[in-house]
Amino acid sequence: MSEKQIYGAIEAGGTSFVCAVGTGPEDLITKEITTTTPNETVSKVIEFFTSQTEKVSAIGVACFGPVDLNVNSPTYGQILSSPKLDWNGVNLVEKIQQALKVPVKIDTDVNGAAIGEYRHGAAQGKNNLVYVTVGTGIGGGVLVNGKSLPGLLHTELGHMFVPHDINQDSFGGNCPYHADCLEGLASAGAITERWGTKKASDLPDDHQAWELEGLYLAYAMVNIILTLSPEIIIIGGGVLKRKPLLKIIHKNVKKLLNGYLPLEAVSEDIESYIILPQYHGPAGVLGALELAKQT
Ligand code: ZN
């Protein structure tokens, strides 16, 4: 009989690193470490793992990005161009592997959350799914057969282009690369800039901002459905805390698809097809734990 395997997980975020050791949601020791400089943060992370009585056999990292996820690349695990400038070029995989001498697997934070939902939340049994987060930025994780879609880089669903009717919406968009891509039109920052408010959450439920937001996000959902045909789409993030928004998205997705897809999931039961995250535990860190199990 083999011994019970203990795994390590790190959800590496811009404001904190959540570290964990254990086997699953019922057996997890976690610690939150404030994100400061790379050196200070990484040494605290390593200290957390070395101070545990049980040694982990592998570590999974769900990381803010963009990150080099190509295992064959010489810079695998490196943070490529983070807005947190001092983290640019930091190779978390290398640092952790060297210090702890265990295999390390890295993926994006949103893929981590998608894996967490897949294993423990709303998407259980749905092997092909998309997870979109709409907050300060817009990110998207894509799982195919329960694993993140491999490719040149991770997916960047937030920067897809969506129709922008300048007569209806004169705001030019705020993505520094593309101006009016999805993120440039529909992130929390785009909402506050467009409507001249401090926080998107200050706008009342009946503000026209939400109809427009729901339309842009529906364009994104339609593009995702048409290109990836996922079994379920989970949409979360701070902006989706706005109650009426999901309904507006549902309404517009049906309208835009116009009956084209012969799918009951879309035509009859879209409320169970495009859904909010359902898992209220630490989906990101549990996703990272699953990554460790995949090494
Ligand atoms: Zn963009």
Residue 90: exposure state from Cβ atoms within 10 A (0-12, 13-18, ≥19): buried
CA 144 to ligand 1 centroid distance, Å: 24
- Ligand 1 centroid distance, CA of 253 (Å): 22
Mean pLDDT estimate for the chain: 92
Residue 78 has pLDDT above 90, yes or no: yes
Q: Residue 124 C-alpha to ligand 1 middle, in angstroms?
A: 31
> 2 CA to middle of ligand 1, Å?
48
Task: Give 155 Cα–ligand 1 centroid separation in angstroms.
Answer: 13
Q: Ligand 1 centre from 136 Cα, in Å?
A: 13
How far does residue 43's CA lie from ligand 1's centre (Å)? 34
User: Model confidence over 4-28: pLDDT tens digits?
Assistant: 799 999 999 888 999 999 999 899 9
The alpha carbon of 159 and the centre of ligand 1 are apart by a number of angstroms equal to 4
Q: Report the alpha-carbon distance of residue 77 to residue 107 in Å, rounded.
A: 8
Q: Which residues contact 69 (CB under 8 A, 6 or more apart)?
A: 76, 106, 107, 108, 148, 150, 153, 154
Report the separation in Å between the CA atom of 171 and the middle of ligand 1, taken as the mean of its atom positions.
15
What is residue 82's predicted lDDT score, i.e. its pLDDT? 66
Distance 173 CA to ligand 1 centre (A): 9
Residue 54 alpha carbon to ligand 1 centre in Å: 44
Residue 219 exposed, middle or buried by CB count within 10 Å (0-12, 13-18, 19+): buried
- 191 Cα to the center of ligand 1, angstroms: 15
Find the 88 Cα to ligand 1 centroid distance in Å: 19
The Cα 236–Cα 204 span in angstroms is 19
Question: CA torsion, points 245, 246, 247, 251, in degrees to nearest 10?
Answer: 100
Question: What pLDDT, on a 0 to 100 scale, did the predictor assign at position 3?
Answer: 62
- State the pLDDT at residue 189: 95
Query: What is the structure's pLDDT at 262?
Result: 85
Residue 83 pLDDT class (50, 70, 90 cuts): low
Interval between CA 138 and ligand 1 midpoint (Å): 9
**Percentage of the chain lying above the pLDDT 90 cut:** 77
CA of 109 to the centre of ligand 1 (A): 18
**Interval between CA 77 and ligand 1 midpoint (Å):** 23
Cis ω on the peptide bond leading into residue 66 (within 30° of 0)?
yes
Distance (Å) from CA 160 to ligand 1 centroid: 7
What distance in angstroms lies between residue 52's CA and the mean position of ligand 1's atoms? 42
pLDDT tier for residue 1 given thresholds of 50, 70 and 90: very low
State the pTM of this model.
0.89
Ligand 1 geometric centre to CA of 174 (Å): 8
Q: Tell me what pLDDT residue 272 has.
A: 95
Compute the distance from residue 102 Cα to the ligand 1 centre, in Å. 36
> What number is the average pLDDT over the span 92-114?
94
pLDDT at residue 152, as a whole number: 76
- How would residue 204 be classed by pLDDT, with cut points 50, 70 and 90? very high
Ligand 1 centre and the CA of 178: distance in Å? 4
Q: Is the pLDDT assigned to residue 2 strictly greater than 60? A: no
Q: Tell me the per-residue pLDDT of 38-76, one tens digit each, with 9 for 90 and over.
A: 999 999 999 999 999 989 999 999 998 788 988 888 899
The predicted structure's pLDDT at residue 72? 87
Contact 35, 25 (CB under 8 A): no
Name the residue among 41, 77, 43, 80 with its Cα closest to residue 62. Answer: 77
Measure 152 CA to ligand 1 centroid, in angstroms.
Answer: 18
**pLDDT, tens digit, 9 for 90 and up, residues 152-201:** 778 889 999 999 999 999 999 999 999 999 999 999 999 999 999 999 98
Residue 65: the pLDDT is 78
